[in-house]
Structure 1
């Protein structure tokens, strides 16, 4: 979906002590099998506030840049800077998270997100002159936050409650996407000039501050081991290693995200020229996603992950086809609702299975930070590939038909992700 909300909805899924398999987390021994402990609930609250702040302002960020520049390329290069820097930050910050204080990395990401929106607020319409530097700053913020979030998520969940956590995370992200963009759209259209944008950026800054405060209730977790800079390359060079098949699947997942995370909200605005309608689009699609993530979180099990992911993959591709008839608000709404309905079936099994793979042995658990960095490298590679297609196609032809074909092209790639992941979805063994 739009850059702010969709990026968070996809990131919450990118998310122990020293022994992962079959053991209770520290301080969680009293809960029942499959239940979420207090630290998991607190982490969900941090993610929800972080997502709400981004949903308020990030939903309209691409629109803000578009209105200032009228350029598809500016938005593309802003996003390029964001993707590359986020992936690089994951790799570099991996050492900090593994050997030092991962909580400080989490907080730094939140603070930098606040700094980003503060700069956009101060720059106003001149932000269009600093597209790439702003993208780099936003990428750094996301990198520091999400690598820490992913590691903490892995440490406080187990295979028997990871689907539940992911379902709740998606539900909360959807809930944030219901109210926040709709309120933002009303404020932007009801206030003259840039005042509406200034107000929502300011509100986001306040929420980021509250998120930092809340994060201090997350326990500081023990650091262990030394960070291996080339760990990912060693995994890929090892014959018979599961990551030689899993990493291309992650790349395939990233190709779609690389375009859809920012383009959908932008084309909704371009088709309607009304921020209120973009807010309503987000409200409706997020309401549907709230229900679908809740149901998926309750119903998905290791035994049905493979057919569920196949159905989800096919359906989120088929719902692109109505845009060939005409790209207007109604067809975009059909696309958005269909995607919201079936996205959980695609994304939850894949993400959960990958984190199960990370926790397959004591050795891989000790290398969890490196594996999470490897996963991010795959997502970044895929996102850059998808974005490169955008940067090649749009200067040649930026018609609605060309955009729809681009969406279909990158939208077909997740089928490869399902095919590559299928052997691991059919079994809990690696």
Structure 2
């Protein structure tokens, strides 16, 4: 009976940590949702140059990848919570810098991309490690559904409110107010992170583990890494291009805000429903269905690139995206936690995943810059969107033989003989 009470108490603490982590993630995502949708629009209004926007994304992606790799030693051997707090604080500094520079911001694209890259690298590295430790195989799909629900809710309301404020205030004052509010929300995220429990150090950091895995033909990470590169191909372009297309098509921040409201509302409902129903056994064909529909949703853009067509594309993407993202994320983290040895290398595994994603994003963004520099026609851009937007099908093809299968026959669980300091930390069992 005493063991049952202790297990129940530990489960409640773990559930509380999950909700706190969701809260920190929600504030970070909300602050970015308030402003990130309009940062590229703000830069575009100062200087109508798609190539400049592309290079801003390139610098961001390169610095984020370097931050992941270099900060891995600190996160594994030092303080994960310190990394997540500094990541949020640097995000606040980014928007503060945009406020300070004003219209001169277009002259400091490398600096802005560097600051944003450091923020993203630190936050998402630490967040993914804590997320892995706070969840297990049984709870991961549910947690990802909740995170997606929270992200969709933030993406639904925040840009919509930002669009209203910017449209009504006019000029640059609306942008400055929204960027200032984002700084405040980031500060709230830092404060909430102090409620997360401190995590133990994880041993020594192996700098070249990802490269060793790629050289081993029998290692499953070889295929998974290629799949993550394929996933990043779409993210590199779609992460900034669609909102710009909506603004260029309408010339209105208000209509851009409405666009995010409608599409994110669909995403919110979709993440809620799919997150409740998804099980590991559904991953293979669920991912295929999502990947196929994400690709087909791009086709209408060849006939018309007006607001209505972009809205249809956005709604279809939001509707089917959870079918694609939930199984991919859950599968990779199940692989990280398949056994004790793998779980102990979770920092290196998360970094391998993120470096692969950023490699794909970089390839996609460089391709975008090449297209708009040498053949900036609507047809060329749409062909680029179709080719790279269909990369989820490549992700499915690479992972199809692994999805729906358990990562290991006997997932790692702690025993009483483990280090007592680790027992006192109450670190949740890796999935």
TM-score (norm: length of structure 1): 0.92
Aligned to 1:343: 321
Aligned to 2:335: 357
Contact 1:28/1:37, CA 8 A, preserved across alignment: no
For the residues of structure 1 that align with 2:180 and 2:8, how far apart are their CA atoms?
Answer: 37
Unaligned segments of structure 2, at least 5 residues: 1-5, 409-431
Contact 1:227/1:370, CA 8 A, preserved across alignment: yes
How many residues get paired? 404
Unaligned segments of structure 1, at least 5 residues: 1-24
Q: Deviations over 1:304-363 (max 9, x none)?
A: 110000000000010001111110000000000000000000111011000000001100
4+ aligned runs moved over 3 Å, structure 1:
25-28
CA shift for structure 1 position 426? 3.0
Could you say what secondary structure the match of 2:136 adopts?
coil
For the residues of structure 2 that align with 1:73 and 1:160, how far apart are their CA atoms?
Answer: 44
Structure 2 residue 399 is the aligned partner of structure 1 residue 421? yes
Q: 1:234 to 1:176 in 2, by over 3 A?
A: same
Residue of structure 1 aligned with 2:360, choices 360, 363, 382: 382
CA shift for structure 1 position 397? 2.1
Structure 2 residue 41 is the aligned partner of structure 1 residue 63? yes
CA shift for structure 1 position 147? 0.3
Q: Tell which deviates more after alignment, 219-228 or 230-239.
A: 230-239
Contact 1:36/1:165, CA 8 A, preserved across alignment: no
Contact 1:36/1:161, CA 8 A, preserved across alignment: no
Contact 2:286/2:323, CA 8 A, preserved across alignment: yes
Residue of structure 2 aligned with 1:402, choices 369, 372, 380: 380
For the residues of structure 1 that align with 2:317 and 2:14, how far apart are their CA atoms?
Answer: 28
Aligned to 1:3: none
Contact 2:18/2:134, CA 8 A, preserved across alignment: yes
For the residues of structure 1 that align with 2:177 and 2:372, how far apart are their CA atoms?
Answer: 32
Aligned to 1:184: 162
For the residues of structure 1 that align with 2:251 and 2:61, how far apart are their CA atoms?
Answer: 27
Residue of structure 1 aligned with 2:246, choices 268, 280, 286: 268
RMSD after superposition: 1.5
For the residues of structure 2 that align with 1:74 and 1:316, how far apart are their CA atoms?
Answer: 27
Structure 2 residue 116 is the aligned partner of structure 1 residue 135? no
Aligned to 1:312: 290
Aligned to 1:256: 234
For the residues of structure 2 that align with 1:294 and 1:147, how far apart are their CA atoms?
Answer: 25
For the residues of structure 1 that align with 2:372 and 2:9, how far apart are their CA atoms?
Answer: 51
Alignment of 1:8-407 (within 5 A): 29-31=10-12, 37-407=15-385
CA shift for structure 1 position 238? 2.1
For the residues of structure 2 that align with 1:64 and 1:408, how far apart are their CA atoms?
Answer: 27
For the residues of structure 2 that align with 1:36 and 1:104, how far apart are their CA atoms?
Answer: 20
Q: Deviations over 1:73-131 (max 9, x none)?
A: 11011100000000110000000000011100000000000000000011111100011
Contact 1:245/1:420, CA 8 A, preserved across alignment: yes
Contact 1:53/1:207, CA 8 A, preserved across alignment: yes
For the residues of structure 2 that align with 1:286 and 1:26, how far apart are their CA atoms?
Answer: 38
For the residues of structure 1 that align with 2:14 and 2:295, how far apart are their CA atoms?
Answer: 33
Contact 2:294/2:390, CA 8 A, preserved across alignment: no
Rg larger for: 2
For the residues of structure 2 that align with 1:48 and 1:399, how far apart are their CA atoms?
Answer: 38
Q: 1:27 to 1:106 in 2, by over 3 A?
A: farther
TM-score (norm: length of structure 2): 0.92
For the residues of structure 1 that align with 2:204 and 2:61, how far apart are their CA atoms?
Answer: 26
Could you say what secondary structure the match of 1:424 adopts?
coil
